Amino acid sequence: MGQIMKLRLGTGRRAWATLATLALALTGGIAVATPALAAPNTAVFTKVQDWGTGWEGKFVITNGGTTAINGWSVAFDLPAGSNIGSFWDAAMTRSGQRFTFTNVGWNGTINPGATASFGFNGSPGGAGAVVSNCTLNGASCAGGTPPGTPGTPGTPSVTGTTNTSISLSWGASTGTVTGYRVYEGSTVRATVTGTSATVGSLGTCTTHTYTVRAYNNNGESASSGSVTGSTTGCPPTGGKMPGAPYLYMGWGDPPAPATVMAATGVKSFTMAFILSSGGCNPAWDGNRPLTGGADAAAITAIKNAGGSVQISFGGWQGNKLGPNCSTPAAFAGAVQQVINAVGPAVVDFDIENFDEFENYTVQDRILNGLKIVKQNNPNVKVVVTFGTTTTGPNSHGIRLINQSKALNVPIDNYTIMPFDFGSGNIQQDTINASEGLKNALKAAWGWTDAQAYAHMGISGMNGLSDQQELTTTAAWTAIRDWAKSKGLTRFAYWSVNRDRPCPGGGVVSNCSGISQNNWDFTRITAGF
């Protein structure tokens, strides 16, 4: 939800050339090539400086194609007696005078029109700084493929999956073909003579992206388009969660949770928010420790009173982990730190701000990270929370849902935030938005109405919202009863801090802006 998001009251919610030799100019960064045969992907070398005893070199890899490069490898020869010492933004291996540089984790994907670069220091300078026979992913650095190599295979498709394998098939290449190699990034996962393969020994509930290249005695073809597939065996999703209003210890005169529990019967709270304290390091609100502070004390009190907690990551404002963690594995590692420290029943990923919700690179990073989280914590439910229109998720929300299916992410619950519409009837708008979410889930996953409802949640805003929409206790009760009747599995609101009266008080951090009793919305939520 958000800490009164619009008011910013703290952290809120919401080459081709001859095969024998390819010499690249050392002073102008120009790849010597035959333009009419040039292929779109190139790796261009520039000698940055030469001080006699040594020299600095740099390669810039450009994706001029229409599909992403997923993993790259640049290899070249240096004259006898030449060596490379330090290097950066790549990993290096050496075989005689042939040096091979491959991407590191964060720069392996190059989208169409984008570039990646790496550099190194060599010795000696002068005649020792001559790069030759350069290849990019097996093809000439200046684009194209060597004469006589096969044509590009058709884009593969996934034909079957098990817990440990993914089967593929693709269209045959033109020309003379000895066989095909299936690549995951720059690593060969299978070599076959036909146009199908099964990649085995994979992890359960894991996602993999593959390309195919044909080869013969003259060399390899260009890479096919890519396909992404996932193994089966993901833990079952779904299951009802107790009503869990948001509790935020960073402002708004946070109440003692055990007192609220005793007064209302509520058994769970959604604790907000986990943010980045710098890089891929989690902290409460980006600055409070995971253990030993007010948040940890509140969680202990909740558990001691027989309750459970949901932990919310993200929100509208603040420095998020999604953009700061460079890989899905790093993101999952940050989440694991929180799980280990807190022991939550649920982890909630509030993906609403532009840097996560509308940045599809980050969106995919989070989704792939959640697969790891679920695989390592099968008993912890995974929720994604995002905004909505009055008719259901917008294009970014639809993309999130469809991509979660494409990547086979075992999300237990998709929760929408039906408020900040600007006007209208909040009760009917919430129901309409929820029905739109149901239809999107059915379209993506092939679920029935009941299956879709069982993967849905509502997270509202009590009293007056940021845009002065009114949710009364009667409206919240009706929304709750509708959610129960349809079998929704999560129910929350922002926030317990605001579940106190202040009629005519406007939108503030510690009361609802309406006339009510203390904890009225929490009592209603507990009835879920």
CA distance 510 to 9: 11
Count of Cβ atoms closer than 10 Å to residue 178 Cβ: 12
Count of Cβ atoms closer than 10 Å to residue 172 Cβ: 14
- Number of helices (H), then strands (E), belonging to the chain: the values are 11, 30
Which pair of structure tokens corresponds to residue 23?
């010499």
Going through 217-344 in order, the beta strands assigned E by DSSP cover: 219-220, 227-230, 246-248, 268-276, 282-284, 308-314
* Helix, strand and coil in the chain, % to nearest 5: 25, 30, 45
CA distance 435 to 485: 13
Vertex 111: Cα angle to 108 and 117 (nearest 5): 50
CA distance 419 to 504: 20
Residue recorded with tokens 């909630």: 348
Going through 193-257 in order, the beta strands assigned E by DSSP cover: 196-199, 207-216, 219-220, 227-230, 246-248
Dihedral, 220, 221, 226, 229 alpha carbons, nearest 10: -50
CA distance 101 to 318: 37
Evaluate whether 334 touches 281 at the Cβ level (below 8 Å). yes
* Neighbouring residues of 518: CB distance < 8 A, sequence distance ≥ 6: 263, 499, 500, 501
Calculate helix-pair angle for 294-304, 328-342, nearest 10 degrees: 60
Query: What residues are annotated to the active site?
Result: 352
3-state SS class at 116:
strand
Strands 268-276 and 308-314 come out as parallel
Residue recorded with tokens 């890899």: 61
Q: Closest Cα partner for 261 from 481, 473, 525, 10?
A: 525
